[in-house]
Structure 1
């Protein structure tokens, strides 16, 4: 059966080719031996037969020697227990060990692996895959469908309690005073504490214009004044004066960036931050407050309630036909694909990260790969192994027999010519 040039040969084709080459090499050996006998018979009749006999004898020896060498690789020639034959069967296990070590140290070396992985643009392949709308939608749907199972696994496996305990432990280790000092210091440096003051003043102004608040203040004033003053409605007069003065003061503080109240507030905040940084008493009080807060059952109940509420929301959204999470995930994947396509720096960074991760993984596993290859080779049936090797390289090995016959014959011819030349001189 004819085979296309691009079609790899099958085992049957290799076996046929090997058999043909073996027969041809054997026939060549028989032919050189027969030629030697014929040449020896006619050697006395003409000098040329001496050269033919020298060529044929050396070619026979060369072909036979190479036949012996080729056969000795795979089995004992003629079944004889000759030393250093059947090389592959006798060294089966050592070949497996050496092959595993060779692959581990050369093919799986860090430099070789990272160089090969560096030729692959992983980020571009990810971007191309995500640019197909169906791929992003399928990935988002898969992730959302698996979310309820993940949440259930978290509850059933004890991860929820574990993470809760870890968070509590880390909170207990956290020093509140330095953290608060750092946060407030940043707020003050950017002037945002004045915005806080403005919000407080605005709330106070709103409070002073509330009818219920004004009525409560008036009732308080009425109780404190003598009855005679209440008869002349002094409570209303005092309330108007107090509210008017306070409102005017608040308005001045809100509109004047250099108002004394603002400066006092700034001084107070900076002093408070400094005490948080340096005062051991402040630090101890902050730690006491933190421990008392974490020990309250309401905090644990609040955390459990927040988790339950979050889980219920996520499960409802995951089951909804128009899931918000799925849409958000799809938009995120589209944005990732766009960023990867437009930003070579991000692609290069991702590729470096992937190469580093895969390289580390290969280095961590390469000894296991080498051991696996060695064990597999040692576990192979030796006859099957020899058959596979012969099918792969046997044809080329048989050509060594042709070469041995030709090189041997030419060497024998040259030596015979040299011998004749010496005899003529003598």
Structure 2
């Protein structure tokens, strides 16, 4: 389009030069000459106007040109303020979400992600989201996500939650497979370290026992008795030691739910774990993996939603589409969550946008804005050339009539 607009301008210049030489040969040439002259002026004026938005025309530092590069910081602040006031206020988000069935829409998408009427919109939205996610400051954005996740974990009252989970597991007998797995693990560890156990018994036996060979018999007896005890605990659901273990689990669940000292101890352990640098590294890795997985999903949603994962998500989508109570719960939670996120992090989000645009150099800002506007910029030049020509034609006609 740039070549077309420039070619039209060159054509008007060539026509003006040619017709200016032969203007007296026929009365009609005067109209054509007026058209080409006015079109040349209009085309040059609009070329200057369009160019002055993004750069200095012909590289000359003319005042009030290269407007966008010179004001990129103000543009960044204006974009951030516009985003904050029109999209990221709790009132706007609540109003937009009112009456919008988020759960049903998500269910329809998961059930049939390649729906024909929505595929282009979905692909465009996914591409836009991926571009935004890649262009934002990853360190700042990741830090915001990790800080929010850490704060949510700190707010969780962990001891009662663990106590309730343990109580429910015991009531449903879900602890039995875990208990039996631990018994098998103990048996396996003893079997793997049987030589070490025998050596320990031999070293602690006195000389007479070693001389008479009783130490070997003692080692065999200890190992055989241990294996027999573990087997009895494993097969006998009413074994006294198994009952003791279950009593201990009941007591632990009760302490987690009711004992302030146990609850304070769990909170102390949680604080120590969160303060450990290894948790920070783990959160870094989890955020980066989540970001990359999200990018892969939005870049190629059809591939990401294929296979067994796609089937599982399809079942989830069916439940979301048909279960009214589930929709109400999810919609209420989504609205509260989104409004809360906007209320807490709206300023931080727009600050990231503003600082990201500020860090772009003038060339990057110019290229991105010019590319976003696209062909319409060149249509301004084309229209200026043609409109200028018709105006010149009308003026010449009026001049002849008067």
Which of the five TM-score ranges fits, normalised by the shorter chain?
0.3 to 0.5
- Structure number with greater Rg is 1
TM-score of the superposed pair, with normalisation by structure 1: 0.44
TM-score of the superposed pair, with normalisation by structure 2: 0.46
